[in-house]
Structure 1
Amino acid sequence: MLDMPGGEEASYYLLLRVFQVAAVVFVTSGFMTGSPYGSQSAYSGALAVDGRLGWIVMELVSPAALLCSYLASSTAGPQAQYSAVTHVMCGLWVLHYANRALVYPLRQASRKPMHIGVVLASCMFNTVNGYLNGRWLSVFSNGLYTNAYWDVYQGRALLGLSLFVLGMAGNIYHDNVLMNLRQPGAQPAPGSARKYLVPCGGLFALVSCPHYFCEVVEWAGFAVLTQSPAAWAFVFGAAGNLLPRAYQIHKWYQREFPGYPANRKAMIPYVI
């Protein structure tokens, strides 16, 4: 981290402010440049890396950064304040990334190559995000997470935990829908000879990218549960990344599939 007057706390809050502002940049650049991977990418140049390997590496950075910052303590700086509550919150983060970084990519039949710049940019984002959230839980929450936290903030904690679980379950369910479209015997949508198919089921009735919507709901639940400004910054950063991507995918579906359901929005039901 930066070494500046005020020690780690000043550096932490400076980085947090930068991270919060960056969400606006993600939205703007995402709508301008489109999606740099997946169905929206055809990159195969000299800087291409294996899509599955690139995904695993960049996603594993997040739990690694969170755990390193959470477990770190310093005799020259702020001391970590651990509790069963902080352990549970860290466990939820690791649970999410165990699925996203390992289970999800290893279940896929294949992934398109990725530009190495996408991998490096994601690693940078995940490093900062993991640090901010891990250090908040162990240090900069200033003793908020005592073992009495569940009783004092019972309603908030229950709401946040419920949103997290529902969001993660929805994310996995809709990922499964997309994976099943690639199974042997699956038929292309009417009027299309392409290998990509129109997904149906669950929230696909309302939006083109319900897996993205559910992921944002999941992290919003984490933010409600933790009351963490770092977690809320992540929610807006994730939305800033996923909303433009969902919009581009939505437009792609409309171009590629004649008769694509006109009532579907891109990511947020009935909104966009």
Structure 2
Amino acid sequence: MKISAVAAERRPTLHFLREIRAISPVFLDTDVDMTAVVRHRETQHKYSVVSYVLHSAARVLAAHPEANAALHGRLRPRVARYASVNGKFTLDRTLNGQRIVLSTVLTDLQRASLDEIQQRVEHFRDGDPASMPEFAGARLLQRLPGPVGSLLFRMGTRPLNRRADVMGTFAVTSLGHRPVDGFHSVGGTTITLGVGRIADRPVARGTEVAVAPLMRLSLTFDHRVIDGAEAADVLTDLKQALETFPAADDTDAAGTDAAATAAATAGTGERS
């Protein structure tokens, strides 16, 4: 048996896990028929499944501002509802020989086309975390002593006016590259989406049984911020968005979003 200190590269993960203990998570899941998404991927640029989920979830959350929110405080809790929908997604990376999870936040996704989201995902997926400026904060936390790093993490993530930019307003994490059907994660946001693999399975279509590519989609919500009915509405709307992708008034063949402005104004209370 060998006992050693936790690798410095894992310190940011430990700081994050300590900070999210205040969340009261509740877990939902559903199966999504990904036929429309698979068809779109075959006829267009091979977008990441995560990009489809980020794109669709941003528009759903723009229409559900109560869920695009964050809470802080125990004795006198306060809730911030954000006009921008910012999606955090996780990356499986190796840094200094240590396999770790990193995350980054993509801002204003309610306005971004699928092409723009894919480009931003590829930027972080293909970049070197040891030198990318976007991960300078994570590298700093790795170097600092544990108590100092934990304090710095709290100072950077707790203020509600900063939370959307550094933690996102929703989170997406995927294990779909492995034979994992479903899992639930707590991403530090009111809504966290877990993406499983897409696999051919039997489905009922009317009175007939067919085979379709199904994906298990999980949703973890912070019960301090919203209740189950609102979370179920978000999951239902996201399931519908993915199963009907692209909506007739949503995207063209290149992924340009024609409804982003409408979705954004819906999230801010504006009306056309």
Q: Same fold (TM over 0.5)?
A: no
More strand by proportion, 1 or 2?
Answer: 2
Indicate the structure whose relative CO is greater, using CA pairs within 8 Å and at least 6 residues apart: 2
TM-score w.r.t. length of structure 2:
0.26
More helix by proportion, 1 or 2?
Answer: 1
